Amino acid sequence: MTSIIPIVYDHPDFLVINKPCDLPMHDPLASVCQVLCRQLSLDQLYLVHRLDSATSGCLLLAKNKLAAASLSQLFANKKIEKYYVAISDRKPKKKQGKVSGDMKKSRGGSYMLTKHANSLPKAITFFISKSTPDLGRVFYIKPVTGKTHQIRVALKSIGSAILGDTRYKGTNSDRLYLHSAMLVFSYKQDDFCIMCMPQTGNLFTPALLQDIAVIHHLPWPKYIPPILPPTHPHGVDSRKSV
């Protein structure tokens, strides 16, 4: 694990770091916040979103409670755009589109995707992929929501488990090939587009890194939440049959 965590952007209210692989969000002695506070001689930092321990890349942390509340609300309101890159050695069922559904706990700390019923889906992931002769399939990903293992489960559901993701039956590799590449958001009337490149991974080639720099300019569909039909206070559909 990297001893010094790279600081990508330092704002009076927040930090964006390039989180190394296998640095946990929660650990009694070596969580992200604990390591950073020791590194930067800070008293406290606040998590406002999370990455899986094995996922690397852009992670935003607040420096005070007010900033934490504001940034957390931006994430909750889907006002922060998140972009990821992943590599799989397996051909997907479809080359691009949307994966949506509900996330359900499975065995051994894993999750599975299930169909959603009469509510908004809890996990929504847009993706665009391309085939490369050396890497297999590269996926550019824009999750709308931020559920645990969401991207890993989404790609497994279309037949392309991420390289190195042995939990979800992916081919063993030198790392989990999932990286948080970019965050785009507005905060206190300032616009931010913050990017960080993978620091490890033999398959994150220079050509792929060039593509990451323009990931937010890909033809992403705009997410429009569906309008649910009105329901009776007791759960009975109030619409009349015609």
Question: For residue 224, what are the contacts with CB-CB under 8 A and spacing of at least 6?
Answer: none
Residue 147: inside a domain: yes
- Catalytic residue from among 27, 52, 165, 191: 52
**What pLDDT sits at residue 175?**
97
pLDDT for the residue 231 = 55
Q: Is residue 150 part of a domain?
A: yes
What's the number of domains the chain is made of? 1
pTM exceeds 0.75, yes or no: yes
pLDDT of residue 67: 98
Q: Is residue 193 part of a domain?
A: yes
In a domain, 231, yes or no: no
**Structure confidence at residue 227 (pLDDT):** 65
- The count of residues in the chain is 242
Question: Can you give the pLDDT at residue 239?
Answer: 40
> Are 210 and 198 contacting, i.e. CB atoms less than 8 angstroms apart?
no
Rama region for 72: left / alpha / beta (φ>0; ψ in -120 to 50; rest):
alpha
Q: Name the residue with tokens 């890194």.
A: 209
Q: The domain spanning residue 88 has which CATH number?
A: 3.30.2350.10
Asked if residue 204 belongs to a domain, the reply is: no
Helices (H), 77-175: 150-157
User: Which pLDDT belongs to residue 43?
Assistant: 95
Residue 52: active-site member: yes
Phi then psi dihedrals of residue 194, to 5 deg: -115, 125
In-domain check, residue 227: no
Q: Which residue has the tokens 């949506």?
A: 100
Which residue positions in the chain have pLDDT lower than 50? 1-2, 236-242
| In a domain? residue 232 | no
Q: Is residue 212 part of a domain?
A: no
Task: Give the C-alpha separation, 29 to 7, whole Å.
Answer: 20
Give the per-residue pLDDT at 160: 97
Q: Domain range holding 119?
A: 7-199
With a pLDDT cut of 90, the percent of the chain lying above it is 76
34 by DSSP, 3-state: which?
Answer: helix
